[in-house]
Structure 1
Amino acid sequence: MIEKSVFGSFKGTNIYKYTMTNKHGMKVSCISHGATLTEIVVPDKLGNFSNVLLGFDNLDSYIKDRKMFLGAAIGPVAGRIANGSFKIKGISYNVPKNEGENTLHGGTYGFNSLIWNSNTEDSEEASSVLFYRTISTEEDGFPGTLNVEVKYTLNNNNDLLITFSGLSNKDTLFNPTVHSYFNLNNDITKLFSSHTLQISASRYAEINEDLLPTGTLKEVAGTPFDFQQPKNLEDAIKYLQNESGLNGFDHPFNVNGKNIATLINHDTCRRLDIESDRNALIVYTLNIKDDTWKVQNQKLVSNMGIALEPQTLPDAIHYKNFGDIILPANKRKYYNITYHFSLI
């Protein structure tokens, strides 16, 4: 089942909210600004339903948010592009810089900032919301005119399936993801003390002080980045802080295989399994110092949610061993992410 409502308006255009509900009562909501996921409502061990996705209560906050990218579709290139420049087949390109000297999450006019067209599909087995857009060089600064789709599908297996597709008339870059922050508690102020995280990754990408990869993939064994076995998330952050002085995780993990990560809350017994066809998972533990935002009527604080972002390793255009993010002209590419919710 799909419900459609007006979430607000921006520059004279209505922003629509879609809520998909499956036969088990799981709900997923998304809006046409930023092709943004706003809610994922799932049961706990007692059958109580709660929203496990950090989201704002109003459109204005989504429009103003240019740092956290709460729930937004990210693209055309997720992560950072060093110096906002790159080469494709020997041709140099410069794209808008929105984080110092670098380009973050598609730059000033990335997917998260756009108003998307939309339509829906509904059946007894699954419901889908399709967001689609044509983006020109004049609009986002990247080469080519990009025809892009972001499709969210909720089925009766409690899977949220996310499909990205892109087609350009020129060689360009395409490395999209979704910037969803999870908190599997019933009370989001409880943070991570009851969460464990497991990641199918024996290596992570070393980053510098600007959070850019150095090009080196390092072994996780014996470091705070070892999540090969389930690890308490609060303890892992403390370990990282003690070892490095960092406030939390904001790191790319070089994942192995399709089943890349599992997040479990041992109080509510909620479990999230993530599948992807990409080679990386960005783990970001919302390391913010700005407490002026509100989510679910609560003041947003550091470590309130964890973003788990499947993508190709960031800044891959500058490192051959990081993966191919070039979208060849007139060739459509597809990428898939699955969030599967269950109880332990």
Structure 2
Amino acid sequence: MTSNPGNRYSLLGLGAAATLAATLMVGPAMAAAKEQSTDSGMGDNAAHLAVTESDFDKTPQGEQIERYHLTNRNGMAVDVITFGARVQSIVLPDKNGKKADIALGFDNVKDYIDHQSTYFGAIIGRYGNRIANGTFKLDGKTYNLPKNDGPNTLHGGTEGFDQKIWAAAPIRSNDAVGVELTHFSPDGTMGFPGDLAVTVRYTLDNDNDLRIHYSAVSDKDTVINLTNHTYFNLAGAGSGTVLDQVAMINANQYTPINKTLIPTGKLAPVKDTPMDFTTPTPIGRNIHADSPQLKYAEPKQGGYDFNWVLNTDGDLDKLAARVSDPQSGRMVEMYTSEPGVQFYTSNFLDGSFKGAHGNTLGHWGGFTLEAQHYPNSPNQPDFPTTTLKAGQKYTQTTVYRFLPE
């Protein structure tokens, strides 16, 4: 298999993976009490940053779900909940200072459970995107996973990380506030090998950077592909389609798919196709094009649900993608250590249910920028590897930068 950009797998040096698992699960995320805001003595920069914790909702079984509310000096606010370690809300002012929630989500746990297939805002694992036929081989052994997307496994199976309650603790520093979330996934969960300990850290700073740092370790060889599934609508969630919003993806190639949305294994040029976002292009300009690929993604009207091969070589200083809304002036940029991004235009939202704030969530009502390794990599030896060796550390970092500040 080809090597990963950025060499994200390095030796942990802590001994067995179980040691780290135990450390994570009894660490600050388990011990933290409900703290309220940044210390005022941390400096002028920190004085404009705050993290507060509150009760969000309870599961049908009565388990408490917490919400962490992050704010900065620019009026930006991010809510993260412990159900699925998900981004529940992102409030951002527009060019005139008018605030709107630009992340699609729900205001109660039941809706997240009832509409699991949306994956709104969630951390996706163990394996983001699709694995063909719900099976892969590793170290000569075949592993079978639950199929929850036609013949394939999607986003970790029928009960992925999006349906788990994560342990959490606030993060405070002079430069950022946030929340650290941890989860332990036992060997055999959804068919994947290895006891896996996962930590995700969300942090917000005064430059409107929402940084997501992921780390994990396993006591057996396994496969892993973590991502975040936030849907953005820069005009505001429930405000209509994103077709007039303008996208740029720093990628000259993408991974074409078959009719079950599995990559063919080849890399194809975006030039002279509807996949070309190398220059800023309205999302809706080519979405109705007579393209078999677009019809695979959304058979009735066309849509985007593809992995783009980024030109950034895992460099966090290189812009991976940008989407802007000409009307509001809001913009999101993405920087990532990952080799790919799944750009998805919420093709299967149909307006049949409402999200947070009573918003109707309609067709093409949001887009995702899911930083990731390529879909079905465990079955594609020419794709960057998603194998995590026992005792080694998985890491990736993705930054979403929002404008205006």
- Report TM bin, short chain: over 0.9
Q: 1:240 to 1:133 in 2, by over 3 A?
A: farther
| Residue 156 in structure 1 maps to residue 206 in structure 2 | yes
CA distance in 1, matches of 2:349, 2:400: 29
| 1:235 counterpart SS class | coil
- Structure 2 counterpart of 1:299: 360
- Structure 2 counterpart of 1:35: 85
- Structure 2 counterpart of 1:271: 331
Paired residues of 2:104 and 2:237 also in contact (CA < 8 A)? no
| Residue 239 in structure 1 maps to residue 289 in structure 2 | yes
- Structure 1 counterpart of 2:25: none
| Residue 123 in structure 1 maps to residue 173 in structure 2 | yes
- Structure 1 counterpart of 2:308: 253
> 1:150-170, CA deviations, whole angstroms, 9 ceiling, x for partnerless residues?
111101111000011110000
Kindly state the Cα deviation for residue 5 of structure 1 after the two structures are TM-superposed.
1.1
Kindly state the Cα deviation for residue 241 of structure 1 after the two structures are TM-superposed.
6.6
| 1:207 counterpart SS class | coil
| 2:320 counterpart SS class | strand
With a CA cutoff of 8 Å and minimum separation of 6, indicate the structure with the bigger relative contact order.
2
Kindly state the Cα deviation for residue 66 of structure 1 after the two structures are TM-superposed.
2.3
Q: Pick from 309, 318, 321 the counterpart of residue 370 of structure 2.
A: 309
Per mean C-alpha deviation after superposition, the further-off stretch among 154-163 and 184-193 is 184-193
Kindly state the Cα deviation for residue 292 of structure 1 after the two structures are TM-superposed.
2.4
Q: Pick from 42, 52, 57 the counterpart of residue 107 of structure 2.
A: 57
CA distance in 2, matches of 1:127, 1:329: 32
Per mean C-alpha deviation after superposition, the further-off stretch among 83-92 and 206-215 is 83-92
Larger radius of gyration: 2
- Structure 1 counterpart of 2:18: none
CA distance in 1, matches of 2:54, 2:391: 35
Q: 1:306 to 1:340 in 2, by over 3 A?
A: same
CA distance in 2, matches of 1:336, 1:217: 24
| 1:266 counterpart SS class | coil
| 2:378 counterpart SS class | helix
- Structure 2 counterpart of 1:229: 279
Q: 1:240 to 1:158 in 2, by over 3 A?
A: farther
> 1:130-164, CA deviations, whole angstroms, 9 ceiling, x for partnerless residues?
11011112443210100001111101111000011
Paired residues of 2:349 and 2:365 also in contact (CA < 8 A)? no
Q: 1:85 to 1:228 in 2, by over 3 A?
A: same
Q: Pick from 328, 331, 340 the counterpart of residue 392 of structure 2.
A: 331
CA distance in 1, matches of 2:72, 2:190: 36
| 1:320 counterpart SS class | coil
Kindly state the Cα deviation for residue 244 of structure 1 after the two structures are TM-superposed.
5.0
CA distance in 2, matches of 1:111, 1:250: 21
CA distance in 2, matches of 1:47, 1:137: 49
- Structure 1 counterpart of 2:39: none
CA distance in 1, matches of 2:268, 2:277: 14
How many residue pairs match? The answer is: 344
Paired residues of 2:178 and 2:201 also in contact (CA < 8 A)? yes
RMSD: 1.7
Q: 1:112 to 1:316 in 2, by over 3 A?
A: same
Paired residues of 1:186 and 1:268 also in contact (CA < 8 A)? no
| Residue 146 in structure 1 maps to residue 146 in structure 2 | no
Paired residues of 1:171 and 1:327 also in contact (CA < 8 A)? yes
CA distance in 2, matches of 1:309, 1:50: 22
| 1:236 counterpart SS class | coil
CA distance in 2, matches of 1:310, 1:183: 17
Tell me which protein shows more strand as a share of its residues: 1
Q: Where do 5+ consecutive residues of structure 2 fail to align?
A: 1-49
| 1:61 counterpart SS class | helix
Q: TM-score, normalised by structure 1?
A: 0.96
